[in-house]
A and B are shown apart, each in its own frame.
Chain A
Amino acid sequence: MAADPEKSVVQIINYAQGPNWVEPWRFSRVASGLGSGFVIKGNRIMTNAHVVSWSKQLIVHRYQDPKPYRATVEFIGHDCDLAILKVEDEAFFEGIEALQIGELPAARSSVTTYGYPAGGRQISYTRGVISRIEMQRYAHIYNRSLLTLQTDAAINPGNSGGPAIQDDKVVGVSFQGRPGLENTGFIIPPNIIKHFLEDIEDGKYHGFPDAGISLIKLTNPAFRASLGLPNDSSGARIDRILQPFPKTHELLRVNDVILEVSKQEVGSDGMILYEGNRVHCSVLFDEAQHGEAITLKLWRAGKAIELELPVYVNRADRISGNQHKEPPYLIVGGLVFTELSMNYLGSLGRNLGESLDSRTHYELFYRSHQSEELARAKPIVLSKVLKHPSNVDFGVATRDVVTEVNGHTINSISDLKAALINSTDDFHRFQFLSGAEEALNIADAHRAEKIILKQYNIPNAERLEVLYD
């Protein structure tokens, strides 16, 4: 047990260089970001994933020690915004006591957050109470909600990755605030931290599994009666089964009512009583590791049944799947194609609605939910036209999704690559989601390619690596 937790809290300086999502061969200028972390057992440093993302050089500073130490990322969990760092120089850990991970703190209990906010070299402490425990969207990955602690302790830039301490144990990792809310900070709770640590025990991070269901409340008496349920407060209804979750499709049905998850009663609002807090029952799904099964008690066709539902990490997460890896791209005749992703959209500006055609928006956020037949593995977008006499009259606007090339449907960058190899005459023909079509003369495009790459200082005409772990 650490008597002086601040000695175990470190400052992290990340010299990061993220990709340019519109011109994917380019990288942004190197920017330094500041964050916090803390030492846990095994000579590891825990911090937030967003603190160490896109890192080119990581420097860590011990408490009141001017010496910089080089660190590297050992594991990173973007979905839960946690990361583990290691420091090669073992001297770094000398005299530092590893902090222990505690239990979920009670609402209204006090915590102290430790960290290095606003770039100061002196550690900062803020005390607050746990004001709420509920599911919140984790901003780093955008499309995932996990259990979160809300506190009135000030959490500012630089605090990220620092521990929230109660009774000398870590009961959370500071990770985000919310613009517009005063005196409100958010902390990753011990349950999520422990899930992450358990996950990496086999040397690989898998992630948080997803059941692939849309669960909505079942409070309307008529809907309950239509399903043969009494007008009480138990059970929430499965409104939709998402894609791609084959095991869920096999075992669950729309209008199944979830009465219990892991033997815990589910209310008609989808909530359970979780360590004294009413939180959404998905918190229990998040306790399972990739491939593990969850016991569900369902109401189906007028009777209660029990089944074991295996849950898996959604590796085909089409919205955020590649956002923390260098984006793939392919340049042909000066046309730059890349994957449509949340990061790509984010790079277009704050108001996505105005900057993006609704059909492109639909491609990313809606189509993949419909069915596997309709979904594109990864929509490919024309992100740029590098002007050259051979393509100067190319008449398709950027941000349009390419649907077909040389007669082949395009669902991924590999499809695009294959389609370009399979041209049957002198032209590459492109069809786009907007209905527009265009063509390139293959010989002209080929001749232009070297010149374009040189002119625009592009190292390679393509980056096609497999991006999923």
Chain B
Amino acid sequence: MIKSSFTLAFLLVASLGLAQARAFTPKAAVVEIEITKKTYDYRMPWVSRNEQTHKNGILIGQNQILTTADGFSGQYLCRITKGGESRQYTALIKWIDFYANIAMLDVSEPIFWQDMEPVKLAKKIPQSGDLQIYRWRSGRIEERAAEIIRLYNDTNKMSFLQHLKLSASSEITGAGWAEVVFDGAQLVGLTESASKDNRFNILPAPFIISVIEHNQSSDNPGLGTFDFRWMNAKNPALLRSKGLLNMPDRGVVVTEVGRRRLAHNRLKSGDVILAIDGFEVDSEGKYLDPDYGRLSISGLATRAHSAKDIIFMTIWRDQAKHKIAYALPRAQFSKSLIPSERYDASPHYLVAGGLLFQPLNGPLMRALGKNKPVLLDYYNDRPPLEGRDGIVLLSKVLPDDYNRGYEVIHYIMVDQINGHVIHKLEDVKAALAQPEAGFHRIQFMPDEATHQIVLDSTKMPKATERILQHYRIPKPSSL
């Protein structure tokens, strides 16, 4: 009898523990998302095709379905299934933050919300131990174990924002599409990307909470970013050469300011940053986070701040300590000379006389693949050109009698047309409206292999019409 009672008591304790762990019911919170979208070939920017992406989401409140923004660019239809059922519900996009890689969806049909149980996002996440991953597969919930590798600050998959991330390992395959990650009953985050060696990155809940708060506020300032680069100052001689005699292992040296052209701020190359936002900076660019220990200072822009906030920094410059107010700029792709990303937009182009002009940006550079001239990388890597808002590429010449002799020209950066400096595609259009004595004179960047070409301005409109027809291009421009 004694033995039986003991067994019963053990079973009771075990089942209570299970009930606590099962406070989260995956079937009632995890959903499957199907996105139908347009994608583009930047080498033929007038061509689009349809694609579908399948990913995961999770209910975090009434009319709030959380997922990552990855895969939503160009979407025009989003449908959700729940509970492993075949019925699809059309979803509305409440907001998408491509910079943070977070999207919030809703389903307007009340029946969708029946029997569903939203979950809570964890305010603090573990730094070690085991996690659980959930997703729908063939109408059944798949649950996988994962092990935390480390917590760190790193760059977002969709932008240059730097923030907290969690990396973990698991046997799960094909992850990285917003699979939901739990620590018991707490939502720890969404998977962002996965590598072949069973590692994947997780957008952690505290970062997601901050993104949601930003996007739900009426005056969303957006997330900020540090628009400067720095290097470790581990070499004592470097610090001493700057007069920093008694601060070993402190500070990082600013190597470049304003590459993304987001802010005019008070930092200069050569400054030694000793503290940011009240946190001491060590010589490896780390600070001691009160919640998560040593982390890279790159995440301090998003840890507790929004764009436009003032972050105070202690720097060493000209043999003296200074306190400066760093106005945290909002992350914006469009401010860069060569924007690294473009989301939810068809590629811009202009065809004139068979010459295909395109604004130079990250998607176009990636589309060029191995054919990309090294000069484009150089313009992307070099300090921004003063007085130039953007770069237009003559990416191709569609052969025709009109442009005879220029057929081999491709991927070449335009400097001026008819004496007008070309910053963007609209400038090309405007400059072509002002020919010089019956000719269009197109000049390329001084370091390009070809410097200039000339075309007959009077014959260009007819040639353009003929070429568009011949090459089956639906319209001459997308501006």
Contact = CB atoms under 8 A, between A and B. Distances in A.
Interface of A: 214, 216-223, 225-226, 239-240, 254, 353, 357-359, 361-362, 365-367, 369-370, 391, 393-396, 425-427, 429, 434-441, 444
B404 A440 contact: no
B235 A222 contact: no
Contact of A240 (B237, B242, B451, B455): B451
Contacts of B446: 370
Contacts of A226: 437, 439, 441, 454
A438 B237 CA distance: 8
B238 A437 contact: yes
Contacts of B236: 393
A216 B404 contact: no
A7 B374 CA distance: 50
B381 interface: yes
Contact of B256 (A366, A396, A435): A435
A436 B237 contact: no
A369 B445 CA distance: 12
Nearest to A394: B235
Nearest to A216: B450
B197 interface: no
Contact of B375 (A239, A357, A366): A366
A231 to B, nearest CB: 10
A435 B259 CA distance: 12
B380 A427 contact: no
A366 B378 CA distance: 10
A361 B374 contact: yes
Contacts of B380: 358
Given A361-B378, A444-B237, A222 B451 contact: no
B149 interface: no
B441 A219 contact: no
23 contacts: A220-B405, A222-B454, A222-B455, A222-B456, A223-B454, A225-B456, A226-B454, A254-B451, A357-B381, A358-B374, A358-B378, A362-B374, A367-B447, A393-B234, A395-B238, A426-B240, A436-B253, A437-B231, A438-B238, A439-B235, A439-B237, A439-B242, A441-B241
Given A222-B456, A223-B405, A358 B241 contact: no
A350 B437 CA distance: 49
A219 B404 contact: yes
Given A214-B449, A439-B235, A441-B240, A222 B439 contact: yes
Given A219-B404, A220-B405, A395-B231, A353 B455 contact: no
A377 B270 CA distance: 27
B270 A437 contact: yes
A439 B240 CA distance: 9
B269 interface: yes
Pairs of residues from A and B, 6 with the lowest C-beta to C-beta distance, nearest first: A219-B405, A439-B241, A435-B255, A358-B377, A222-B456, A220-B405
Contacts of B447: 362, 366-367, 369-370
Interface in B157-179: none
A359 B270 CA distance: 20
B52 interface: no
B253 A437 contact: yes
Contact of A359 (B231, B381, B405): B381
Given A219-B404, A226-B441, A395-B231, 14 more contacts: A216-B450, A217-B405, A219-B405, A220-B405, A221-B404, A239-B452, A358-B380, A358-B382, A362-B374, A362-B375, A370-B447, A427-B241, A439-B238, A441-B237
Contacts of B234: 393, 395
Contacts of A426: 240-241
A225 B459 CA distance: 13
Interface string B389-408: 00000000000000111100
B273 to A, nearest CB: 14
A430 B27 CA distance: 61
Contacts of B439: 222, 225-226
A429 B238 CA distance: 8
A393 B253 CA distance: 14
Contacts of B270: 437
A443 to B, nearest CB: 10
Contacts of B241: 425-427, 429, 439, 441
Contacts of B453: 220, 223
B232 interface: yes
Contacts of A437: 231, 238, 253, 255, 270
A287 B284 CA distance: 60
A359 B381 CA distance: 7
Interface in B192-219: none
B322 interface: no
B140 interface: no
Q: Which of B235, B237, B441, B446 has the most CB of A within 10 A?
A: B237
B381 A358 contact: yes
Contacts of B437: 226
A427 B241 CA distance: 6
Nearest to B370: A353
Contacts of B381: 357-359
Contact of B235 (A216, A357, A438): A438
A80 to B, nearest CB: 24
B233 interface: yes
Nearest to B380: A358
B229 interface: yes
Interface string B323-342: 00000000000000000000
A40 B451 CA distance: 46
B243 to A, nearest CB: 10
Nearest to A371: B446
A362 B447 CA distance: 10
A367 B378 CA distance: 11
Interface centre among B229, B380, B446 (most CB of A within 10 A): B446
A225 B256 CA distance: 48
A361 B238 CA distance: 27
Contacts of A367: 447
Contacts of A361: 374, 377-378
A395 B235 contact: yes
Nearest to B402: A222
B471 to A, nearest CB: 19
Nearest to B284: A395
Nearest to A439: B241
A365 B233 CA distance: 32
Interface in B425-467: 437, 439, 441, 446-447, 449-456, 459
A441 B229 CA distance: 25
A218 B378 contact: no
A427 B454 contact: no
Contacts of A396: 231
Contacts of B240: 426-427, 439, 441
B235 A393 contact: yes
B391 to A, nearest CB: 15
Among A361, A437, A440, A444, chain B packs the most CB atoms within 10 A around the CB of A437
B15 to A, nearest CB: 57
Contacts of B403: 220
B434 to A, nearest CB: 16
B199 to A, nearest CB: 23
A265 B448 CA distance: 28
B231 A436 contact: yes
Contacts of B256: 435
Contacts of B255: 434-437
A435 B229 contact: yes
A362 B231 contact: no
A98 B191 CA distance: 77
Nearest to A427: B241
A362 B455 contact: no
A217 B374 CA distance: 24
Contacts of B449: 214
A370 B448 CA distance: 10
B238 A220 contact: no
A365 to B, nearest CB: 8
Contact of A353 (B231, B237, B374, B459): B374
A221 B454 CA distance: 9
